A and B are shown apart, each in its own frame.
Chain A
Amino acid sequence: DAKTTQPPSMDCAEGRAANLPCNHSTISGNEYVYWYRQIHSQGPQYIIHGLKNNETNEMASLIITEDRKSSTLILPHATLRDTAVYYCIVRVFSSSNTGKLIFGQGTTLQVKP
């Protein structure tokens, strides 16, 4: 699975959009981009995933560049409860892939009032 690079920390004002970047320059054609977050002391929570097209769900939007070498997770109206560590993970989506899911260090997002 391709390696990802994320900034270690970011701040965001409450009510504003939080844009969390992720670089995955060695991503291959069959690898998906997944995002998780971990609120202090809780288990990680799946947010969203995508392959090529931009994706949106009730939690966030995922924007993947055309060359797929980077992506951005967007929390449209950040609240204090969005303060967490956000992990970007690249992984093959295949029924035969039994390898491990690698969580890196992630980005610590601090939402401030």
Chain B
Amino acid sequence: NAGVTQTPKFQVLKTGQSMTLQCAQDMNHEYMSWYRQDPGMGLRLIHYSVGAGITDQGEVPNGYNVSRSTTEDFPLRLLSAAPSQTSVYFCASSYSAGLQGKLFFGSGTQLSVL
């Protein structure tokens, strides 16, 4: 039982490049979400999904796309990376949307955009 797995752990991009941060969970959780964490800003919600085929925006969705084609996977896409997207990204899941309070987090992806 791996829990929430994020790949890659580290990534350096040039401005304008695109990439996908991967997130997978093996707990059959309905709810999945992406947060970014910046110094002094705490954790901010980017996008979330309450089930396969359903996604919605969080606090800071601009510049990011998501899709949820399966229960297990919730990739985060940066279409044209900008230096402002330099951050640590965390994926999290919970059994259901109502049980968001008990989130399981991945180990994070540290992204630098030059």
Contacts and interface: CB of A to CB of B under 8 A. Distances in A.
Nearest to B48: A100
A95 B42 contact: no
B75 interface: no
B98 A97 contact: yes
Interface residues of B, number: 27
A101 B108 contact: no
B56 interface: yes
A44 B42 CA distance: 11
Contact of B108 (A32, A41, A103, A104): A41
Interface in A84-104: 89, 91, 93-101, 103-104
A103 B43 contact: yes
Contacts of B58: 100
B114 to A, nearest CB: 21
B108 A43 contact: yes
Given A43-B90, A100-B45, 17 more contacts: A32-B101, A42-B108, A43-B4, A43-B106, A44-B92, A44-B103, A44-B105, A46-B104, A49-B101, A49-B102, A89-B101, A93-B98, A94-B98, A100-B48, A100-B59, A101-B100, A103-B42
B96 interface: yes
Residue in A41, A43, A91 whose Cβ sees the most chain B Cβ within 10 Å:
A43
Interface of B: 4, 33, 35, 42-43, 45, 48, 50, 56, 58-59, 88, 90, 92, 96-108
Interface of A: 32, 34, 36, 41-46, 49, 89, 91, 93-101, 103-106
B103 A101 contact: yes
Contacts of B98: 93-98
A97 B100 contact: yes
B101 A93 contact: yes
B50 A46 contact: no
A106 B43 CA distance: 11
7 contacts: A41-B88, A43-B108, A45-B105, A49-B101, A89-B101, A100-B33, A100-B100
A23 B35 CA distance: 25
A95 to B, nearest CB: 4
